[in-house]
Amino acid sequence: MNETQLATHLTIDKLKQVLQHLKKVFVGKDEIIDLMGICLVGRENLFILGPPGTAKSATVRELSKLIDGQTFEYLLTRFTEPNELFGPFDIRKLREGDLVTNTAGMLPEASLIFLDELLNANSAILNSLLMVLNERIFRRGRETRKLPALMVIGASNHLPEDEALQALFDRFLIRVKSDNVDPQELDAVLNAGWVLEQHDGSDKPAISVAEIASLQELTAKVDLQEVRPAYIELIHKMRNAGLQVSDRRAVKLQRMIAASALICKRNKAIPSDLWILKHIWDTEEQREIIANIVNVIIVTDISENQHPRVKENTKPDAEEIYKEVQHLTEQWALPEIAMAERSSIKDRLVHLNNRCEWIGNEAQRKYVQEPIDLLWKQIMQSA
């Protein structure tokens, strides 16, 4: 190993220590934290969906304390004005006839940007935000400047309903849901939260902006040739399933695949690095569909040194299965349901039944199996 490789590995170790610290502090948020790491290295934006009180803001704030750069956080409302995000015009320059923005302490100077209640954005700031998110450029009047932002994180308790906000949402390549933790982990959550209250932060791990930027540059050097056929196949399957995966998103996702490989200290991507595609959903209903499509590829990968999120992401989500069974039950009860739709429900129920068998927690497995058996009974009675 040469000096450059050694320096890279040491930087990756630093990042892993930061992520591990966050996992200890925020119990049950490993998925969100791992995706923060991926987006940091891949220089892409992360969207967190979840109700209030599920540690969305707290996790981002703790991450910001571990990065030496400037952080900008803002709670958007329908009335948020551009000055609140980008800064006011410089009065002294204005007197001289120049429209120059005073960006001190504002979004254009931040290394980490967190926009809470993102989907409250109004038309006054929408275009400026789109350029920030997509091109890392701030433009106002004749003023144009590149932004130092390593990553932008947006959060909301709902998905976009207004068509105008869909473009904003689309700029967040990776999406993840934040829920209340499993009741069995509540004691660990309370303990970790109390420890955080008392901690002075003197021995926390840290990583510099320059070190993260160096990893971002290295993603372009990761070899993706081995996984490209499987990646193209996945994109086609998702599009055939009705998922909107534009060419632009397909190109950008390559950086996420490369980031997964780089964090594992590999210069070549392997099929299991495609796990990141599970997080490109547009609606909550798509999450399970996408997971099933991606799992077909990644479960066949027997390579060593896989990203730790791979095994976790192949575990079935009891809550998601339960919700879908309830939805199927409601569909089956509709009087006007067509024969083709009935056949589709049966096929889907077979799949969910198989997934249910792999739920590790016995109590959760029984809880989910009960409505599955009940729906099967209704189906058989109507045959």
Specify the DSSP element, H or E, that contains 140: strand 137-140
Q: At what angle do helices 209-218 and 30-42 cross, to 10 degrees?
A: 70
d(CA 65, CA 272): 31
pLDDT score at 197 = 66
The backbone torsions φ and ψ at residue 69, rounded to the nearest 5 degrees and listed phi first, read: -85, 180
Q: Exposure of 289 by Cβ count < 10 A (0-12 exposed, 13-18 middle, 19+ buried)? A: middle
Instruction: Please give the model's pTM, rounded to 2 decimal places.
Output: 0.79
DSSP code string of 73-115: EEE--TT--HHHHH--B-HHHHHTT---B--TTSGGG-SEEEE
Q: Does residue 60 contact residue 114 with C-beta atoms inside 8 Å?
A: yes
Has residue 93 got a pLDDT over 90?
no
Residue 101's pLDDT is what? 81
Strand, coil or helix: 227: coil
| Distance spanning both ends of the chain, measured CA to CA | 66
- Mean pLDDT, to the nearest integer, of 240-245? 86
Residue whose token pair is 């989910």: 368
* SS3 assignment, position 358: coil
Which of residues 103 and 221 earns the better pLDDT score?
221
- Residue 263 pLDDT: 96
* Main-chain dihedrals φ then ψ at residue 4, nearest 5 degrees: -65, -45
pLDDT at position 151 over 70: yes
pLDDT score recorded for residue 41: 97
Query: For residue range 105-137, what is the model confidence (pLDDT) as tens digits?
Result: 999 999 999 999 999 999 889 988 999 999 999
The predicted pLDDT at position 67 comes to 95
151 three-class SS = strand
pLDDT value of position 15? 96
**pLDDT surpasses 80 at 200:** no
The pair of three-digit structure tokens given for residue 261, joined into one six-digit string: 């490989």
pLDDT at 315: 62
- The confidence score (pLDDT) of residue 39 equals 97
For the beta carbon of residue 337, count every other beta carbon within 10 angstroms: 13
pLDDT of residue 332: 86
Q: Which run of H or E residues covers position 72?
A: strand 71-75
- DSSP state string for 10-61: HHHHHHHHHHHHHHHHSTT-HHHHHHHHHHHHHT--EEEE--TTSSHHHHHH
Q: Which CATH class is domain 3-198?
A: alpha beta
Q: Is residue 26 within 8 Å of residue 154, measured between CB atoms?
A: no
Residue 186 confidence (pLDDT) above 70: no
3-state secondary structure labels for all residues of 239-297: HHCCCCCCHHHHHHHHHHHHHHHHHCCCCECCHHHHHHHHHCCCCCCHHHHHHHHHHHH
Taking 80 as the threshold, does the pLDDT of residue 192 lie above it? no
Domain boundaries, the chain: 3-198, 223-313, 318-382
At residue 289 the predicted structure's pLDDT band, cuts being 50, 70 and 90, is confident
Q: What is the mean pLDDT of residues 163-175?
A: 92
Q: What is the pLDDT of residue 285?
A: 84
What is the rounded average pLDDT for all residues in the chain? 87
Of 178 and 351, the structure prediction assigns the larger pLDDT to 178
Note the pLDDT of residue 353: 79
Nearest to 321 by CA among 351, 343, 281, 295: 351
